Homo-oligomer: A and B are copies of this chain.
Amino acid sequence: MNAPSGDDEPAKLPTRPPTIKDVAERAQVSPMTASRVLAGGPNVRPQMRRRVEHAASELGYRRNENARSLRPGHKSGLIGVTITNIANPYYAEMQGGIEEIAAKANRRIIVGNSNEDPDLERQLVADFIGRRVEGLIVVPADPTHADHLAPESLGGSPIVFASRSVPGLDVDTVLIDDLGGAYEATSRLLDEGHRQIAFLGTRTSVLTGQRRLQGYRNAHRDHNVPVYEHLVRTGQQEAVGAERALTELLAHEIPPTAVFSANNRNTVGAIRAIARIRSTRTSETPAIRLIGFDWFEFADLSPVPLSVVAHDPRELGRRTAQMLLDRIDGARGGLAAETVELPVYLQLTPEGPK
């Protein structure tokens, strides 16, 4: 037994965090009264309130949220987030947007990196559900292996997809306007008179990559300009690959006069390739026009002229989180799944994101 409340020594050897019973004992009240005080409940004499608060602060008491969330009606206050690559600045910014909205709604985010691996993703989601998250935000790793993301296998937790969609599933999704952005960029190049426009993109198994390629094709179709298939290079996941691909193309007998790079990594590779070519064959080579998907901090510093299709990952995160919270609060209870496409901005002289 502890000494009575006259005992003032700090006694700092908490092998185990103090419980509400410890607080109650020290304050000489019942656990119920202590609970009422600490939950800010009504009908407590100020004297009791002070006694309990004092005891709690002396012991360094923290309410155990896990135990609390066990009681019926209580939620965990957690939102599970799986991202294919946390370290990617794009998703980092998106995560920032999610956190911003979640924090406003007094929720925390619990984050896992799926590393583009659907199995890892499945484990993460299972873990999150085990922790009774109130909802899930997922950047789906692989749309063809996404059974574990189907609403019926989630035990009722709402889910929203961010940045990528999964065709077969009826799930709220927030995308950016890949098709429109690619269309607009390519159209711009065509309007400028270019007829040999290289496409540099990722694997087309990533839906985003597929849609951007589609926008490129659609623009050609609508301008009645044929696509030179040899100028379409997909599968570059990293900058080095893109650099190599474009270097090859520039050596081709029908070289591109302009390049549309479908993401950040490909844009970097394209810049390097163009800069290198230009330093070898000096002024006689005509300038290569470049438009890249994804905004990019140093566009104004690029050694080759660069326009970008900009969009706002933070806003993507915000919208996704808000959509999820609306589902959680039941604000959009019965409504069917919705897909939102965020706008993109063709920036001819980039100045930074919105």
Contacts and interface: CB of A to CB of B under 8 A. Distances in A.
Interface in A307-348: 314
Given A17-B132, A87-B93, A87-B96, A155 B67 contact: no
A69 interface: yes
A124 to B, nearest CB: 8
Taking residues whose C-beta sits less than 8 angstroms from the other chain, chain A's interface range is 35 or more
B76 A86 contact: no
A228 interface: no
Given A268-B298, A297-B268, A99 B113 contact: yes
Nearest to A152: B12
Interface string A75-93: 0101000000111110111
Contact of A99 (B97, B108, B112): B112
A76 B130 CA distance: 12
A89 to B, nearest CB: 4
Nearest to A89: B89
Given A108-B110, A129-B62, A272-B301, A89 B92 contact: yes
Given A17-B155, A298-B301, A314-B87, A65 B113 contact: no
A87 B88 CA distance: 10
Interface in A127-151: 127, 129-132
Nearest to A63: B130
A92 B87 contact: yes
B96 A113 contact: yes
A300 interface: yes
A271 interface: yes
A14 interface: yes
A297 to B, nearest CB: 7
A234 interface: no
Nearest to A131: B65
A267 B327 CA distance: 43
Interface of A: 12, 14-15, 17-18, 60, 62-67, 69-70, 76, 78, 85-89, 91-93, 95-97, 99-100, 103, 108-113, 126-127, 129-132, 152-153, 155-156, 268, 271-272, 275, 297-298, 300-303, 314
10 closest pairs, A vs B, by CB?
A92-B92, A87-B96, A89-B89, A66-B66, A65-B130, A86-B96, A87-B93, A110-B110, A62-B129, A65-B131
27 contacts: A12-B152, A14-B156, A15-B156, A60-B152, A60-B155, A63-B130, A64-B70, A65-B130, A65-B132, A66-B66, A66-B67, A66-B70, A66-B76, A86-B92, A86-B96, A87-B92, A87-B97, A88-B92, A91-B92, A92-B92, A103-B113, A108-B127, A111-B111, A268-B297, A272-B300, A275-B301, A298-B298
Given A66-B70, A99-B112, A100-B113, 17 more contacts: A17-B132, A64-B70, A64-B130, A66-B69, A67-B70, A85-B96, A86-B95, A86-B99, A87-B97, A89-B89, A103-B113, A108-B110, A109-B110, A268-B297, A268-B298, A301-B301, A303-B303
